[in-house]
Chains A and B, each alone.
Chain A
Amino acid sequence: MTEPLLQFDKVCKSFFGVPVLHDISFQLSPGQVLGLVGENGSGKSTTMNIAGGVHPMDSGRMILAGADYQPRSPRDAQASGIAFIHQELNLFRNLTVAENLFIDGFPKLVRGLPLIDRRAAAARSAELLASVDLQVPPSTPVSRLSQGERQLVEIAKAFSADARIIIFDEPTTSLTQRETERLFDLIGRLKAKGIAVIYISHILGDVMRLCDDVVVLRDGHLVGSSPKSAMTIDRMISLMVGRTIDQLFPPRTTPPSAGRPVLEVRGLTQPGIVKEVSFSLQPGEVLGISGLMGSGRSEMARILFGLDPYESGEIVVAGETLPAASPAACMARGMAFLTEDRRAEGLMMEASIADNIALPSLSEHATGWLRMIERTRLGDDVRKVSEAVQIGARDLQRTLVKHLSGGNQQKVVIGKWLLRAPRIFILDEPTRGIDVGAKYEIYKIINRLAADGAGILFISSEIEELIGLCDRILVMGHGEIRGQHERAAFQREDILRSAMWDGLKEAV
């Protein structure tokens, strides 16, 4: 056994008082490929951000090649030989390949003068690009490269910094099969050179194929760490998921009604985004949409609500085919959309609760040829709605939304749509970033909406909440519907598997 290159020793981290990592300890040797797996929010990225100098740790130690390692910035990490290849690549599209490689310091033409030696930069770039088998001139603008080629540029950049450890965060999500193969070959060569690799991925098949050892995280705890030989995909999945959550969900009491669906989607296709998506939503049904980040869930929701275009397919609302989807047309037909990012898209943070709730219904509360707003009736309606969703604030007119907790903010978003009495709710990650108690209340509201006969499309990354709440779950991947699971036969491992399985299918 060689001496470990990097060692995590009881590393802990909290954000705003919420612990996200508990006593993480593992180690990495030169030439080793370590797989890091876990559900969204399990702490994989945080762990690697600590190693990459993006966040400082709260307590614990990292030891790099025998010495204490405390990076204060990404730059520190780079200088210590740790390169981090983020999922969202860190390249500047407006610059050339060579410029991207040397952005933190070009070779100089003359010592003491700040002028760039273009020729030396090009020559050195060509060498670096050759080492990752990328055949493009160093003067190519990055905007012209494909995702896979951009990734190779990032790896070349890691070489230029003489990295000893390279961290890959979900490197294959936007790569073609061929580009993925090329990346795997390259990782094999890195390994042969003695460079250690940490490989974060949801595609467990890839992890099994590439990695020597696997570390599994769940809720910020390290729950499994073993060599590949002692690990199977099934075991990884049950380690990632394994917890009981029976008390976390209010019981569903009303079954969805048969009869005409409130929403039908047939063959919805937009090149590069979604392909042949078809499903239907019954009144009173909670239909879950599962899938990994970047699987096309949110994009599909945006298309349904008319925010983005689609090329072919049909959206049928209550038996009527939508002519051209626009948010106004969707709202007029009783559709409501709670966006993934309520801060940016769903709420006016600087306005009061009442103003926020009233916004989408102003025209319904206007009379006369001047379309004056009926303040009294509007005020009454707003009060009714906020009682229905139980917003915990005394003065609806004066309390600004930015002062509310995440859970209460989400209730305001729901309330603002509720005022329009919609028949279809599209909820995109409605419980993200809110605490357990508030989540429970949101679940209760969702149940009641369904009991009142609305159809609910519930998009979530948390499989537990989908299982706890939905009548049916669709799984999306690569912009397609991958599988459908009925409530009677919910198995969280099956669902997770159908979201992650494709990597396995393609890899094996």
Chain B
Amino acid sequence: MAGRNRIRLLLLQNAPWLLFLALVVVFGLLSGRFLTPTNFVNILIQAAHIAIIAIGMTFVLLIAGIDLSVGATMYVSAAVLGLYLKGLPAVVSFPLTALIGLAFGAINAWFITRLRVAAFITTLATLFIGRGLALYLSDTKMVFFNDEILTFGRSAYLGIPSAIWAFVAVFVIALVVLRETTYGRQIYAVGADPEAAAKAGINVRRIVFSVYCICGLCAAIGGIVSASQVAVAASTFGFQKEFPVIAAAVLGGTSLFGGRGGVVGTVFGAVLIQTVENGLVMLNANPYLYPLIISSIIFIAVFIDSSRTAILERLERRKIRVEAA
């Protein structure tokens, strides 16, 4: 019994890698342009904003929370950047934009930790509020970004595009914070068992508050990166981004039930999702198929997560009798 469970667990834990390999092989066979270095760099560039936002989402998922408002946060911060901060140099306007995301996250956090509104409801509400606000600010017109932002999107340093630099920077910081700081390890503790965490002397509320702030911050950074790539924020900017973002984290092994996962997997998940989109483009697939395929992948990711959790629970069920080994 237990042995079979362990094998299934091993398969489930490696399912995303296997899926990725299978996809690369299939797309490679079907399209001559897919397996080229340029295309892989393209995939990375396109995946950058999803990966950045998904890294923030990972923090939230690790404490068994959820943030549905990331797409809206992205839109609001990009709209403010394009409308009100365009006169400022990038070194000033970018950090200000990031702060808007942080503030947005703090609002979510405040409702969740102080008023104890369920995260799902809170962030669903702020999703609509955020989108409405951005539409109002932009008069429902497209927001065009100035040269400064576009230059950032086109620039490269040491031959590596700035979008990838931003992505790598966010990733490294997140990785170090989660793995190498007390705060990071406490996030895992709170996710595993908030009550035990409180008994261990951890300030649970502060941890929960902070992860939503981080998620908002990352959403705004993702917004900047995306804005610099598409040059214009239409009313669909960031629309439904929460889906690929959550899927990226969960595909990468971060559990919706908290306490398990990390940003390495998340980055991998984001790349995986972008690979699918890119491959479909290469194959000239019908664009209306994209959402269908992406949502199947999301379904698989969530399914894998629940099976994994169920098996882990079975493996760790409390025993009453201590049987001789």
Interface residues of A (CB under 8 A from B): 54, 73-75, 78, 84, 86, 90-95, 99, 102-106, 109, 114-116, 118, 143, 147, 174-176, 271-275, 294-296, 299, 478-480
- A273 to B319 CA separation, bound complex (whole angstroms): 6
B315 to chain A, nearest CB (A): 9
Asked if A94 and B188 sit within 8 Å, CB to CB, the answer is yes
Contacts known (A95-B185, A103-B185, A106-B182); A143 close to B316, Cβ less than 8 A:
yes
B182: contacting residue among A105, A294, A299, A478, CB under 8 A: A105
A sample of 13 cross-chain residue pairs with beta-carbon separation below 8 angstroms, ordered by A number, consists of A74-B198, A92-B188, A92-B192, A103-B197, A104-B200, A116-B182, A174-B319, A174-B320, A176-B322, A273-B319, A296-B321, A479-B320, A479-B321
Interface residues of B (CB under 8 A from A): 176, 180-183, 185-186, 188-189, 191-193, 196-202, 259-260, 316-323
Contact partners of A91 in chain B: CB under 8 A: 196
A449 to chain B, nearest CB (A): 29
Contact partners of A274 in chain B: CB under 8 A: 320-321
- A90 to B185 CA separation, bound complex (whole angstroms): 15
Asked if B180 and A175 sit within 8 Å, CB to CB, the answer is no
Asked if B192 and A272 sit within 8 Å, CB to CB, the answer is no
Contact partners of A78 in chain B: CB under 8 A: 201
Asked if B322 and A95 sit within 8 Å, CB to CB, the answer is no
Asked if A106 and B321 sit within 8 Å, CB to CB, the answer is no
A95: contacting residue among B181, B189, B198, B317, CB under 8 A: B189
Contact partners of A175 in chain B: CB under 8 A: 322
- A34 to B199 CA separation, bound complex (whole angstroms): 23
Asked if B200 and A174 sit within 8 Å, CB to CB, the answer is no
Contact partners of A174 in chain B: CB under 8 A: 318-320, 322
A92: contacting residue among B193, B201, B318, CB under 8 A: B193
Asked if B201 and A73 sit within 8 Å, CB to CB, the answer is yes
Contact partners of B319 in chain A: CB under 8 A: 174, 272-273
Q: From B182, B316, B319, name the one whose CB has the most chain A CB atoms within 10 angstroms.
A: B182
Q: Which residue of chain A has its CB nearest to the CB of B198? A: A74
Q: From B181, B185, B317, name the one whose CB has the most chain A CB atoms within 10 angstroms.
A: B185
B58 to chain A, nearest CB (A): 14
Asked if A294 and B320 sit within 8 Å, CB to CB, the answer is yes
Asked if B180 and A92 sit within 8 Å, CB to CB, the answer is no
Contact partners of B183 in chain A: CB under 8 A: 114
Asked if B316 and A93 sit within 8 Å, CB to CB, the answer is yes
Contact partners of A115 in chain B: CB under 8 A: 176, 180-181
- A242 to B322 CA separation, bound complex (whole angstroms): 33
- A147 to B320 CA separation, bound complex (whole angstroms): 11
A56 to chain B, nearest CB (A): 15
Number of A-B residue pairs, CB cutoff 8 Å, is 96
- A74 to B203 CA separation, bound complex (whole angstroms): 11
- A84 to B201 CA separation, bound complex (whole angstroms): 12
A433 to chain B, nearest CB (A): 20
Contact partners of B202 in chain A: CB under 8 A: 103-104
B260 to chain A, nearest CB (A): 6
Contact partners of A90 in chain B: CB under 8 A: 193, 196, 199-200
A102 to chain B, nearest CB (A): 7
Contact partners of A93 in chain B: CB under 8 A: 192, 316
Beyond known contacts A90-B199, A295-B320: 9 more, CB 8 A cutoff: A73-B201, A86-B199, A95-B192, A114-B181, A116-B185, A174-B322, A272-B319, A273-B321, A296-B321
Asked if B321 and A103 sit within 8 Å, CB to CB, the answer is no
Q: Which residue of chain B has its CB nearest to the CB of A271? A: B323
A74: contacting residue among B191, B200, B259, CB under 8 A: B200
Contacts known (A106-B185, A114-B181, A114-B183); A94 close to B192, Cβ less than 8 A:
yes
Contacts known (A94-B188, A95-B189, A479-B320); A75 close to B196, Cβ less than 8 A:
no
Contacts known (A90-B200, A92-B259); A116 close to B180, Cβ less than 8 A:
yes
Contact partners of B186 in chain A: CB under 8 A: 103
- A75 to B200 CA separation, bound complex (whole angstroms): 7
- A60 to B192 CA separation, bound complex (whole angstroms): 36
- A114 to B189 CA separation, bound complex (whole angstroms): 17
Contact partners of A74 in chain B: CB under 8 A: 198-201
A104: contacting residue among B201, B321, B322, CB under 8 A: B201
B9 to chain A, nearest CB (A): 12
- A299 to B318 CA separation, bound complex (whole angstroms): 11
Asked if B320 and A478 sit within 8 Å, CB to CB, the answer is yes
B204 to chain A, nearest CB (A): 11
Asked if A478 and B185 sit within 8 Å, CB to CB, the answer is no
Asked if A94 and B321 sit within 8 Å, CB to CB, the answer is no
B314 to chain A, nearest CB (A): 11
B123 to chain A, nearest CB (A): 23
Contact partners of B197 in chain A: CB under 8 A: 92, 103
Contacts known (A94-B192, A104-B201); A272 close to B320, Cβ less than 8 A:
yes
B1 to chain A, nearest CB (A): 9
Contact partners of B185 in chain A: CB under 8 A: 95, 99, 102-103, 106, 116
- A174 to B202 CA separation, bound complex (whole angstroms): 27
Q: From A91, A116, A479, name the one whose CB has the most chain B CB atoms within 10 angstroms.
A: A116
- A91 to B198 CA separation, bound complex (whole angstroms): 12
Instruction: List 10 A-B pairs, minimum CB-CB distance, nearest first.
Output: A75-B201, A272-B319, A479-B321, A114-B181, A104-B201, A92-B192, A90-B196, A94-B259, A92-B189, A106-B182
Q: Which residue of chain A has its CB nearest to the CB of B62? A: A94
Contacts known (A95-B192, A99-B185); A273 close to B320, Cβ less than 8 A:
yes
A86 to chain B, nearest CB (A): 7
Contact partners of B188 in chain A: CB under 8 A: 92, 94-95, 99
Contact partners of A102 in chain B: CB under 8 A: 182, 185
Contact partners of B201 in chain A: CB under 8 A: 73-75, 78, 104
A143 to chain B, nearest CB (A): 7
A23 to chain B, nearest CB (A): 27
- A74 to B202 CA separation, bound complex (whole angstroms): 10
- A275 to B182 CA separation, bound complex (whole angstroms): 44
- A92 to B188 CA separation, bound complex (whole angstroms): 8
Asked if B260 and A94 sit within 8 Å, CB to CB, the answer is yes
- A103 to B196 CA separation, bound complex (whole angstroms): 11
- A294 to B201 CA separation, bound complex (whole angstroms): 27
Asked if A116 and B320 sit within 8 Å, CB to CB, the answer is no
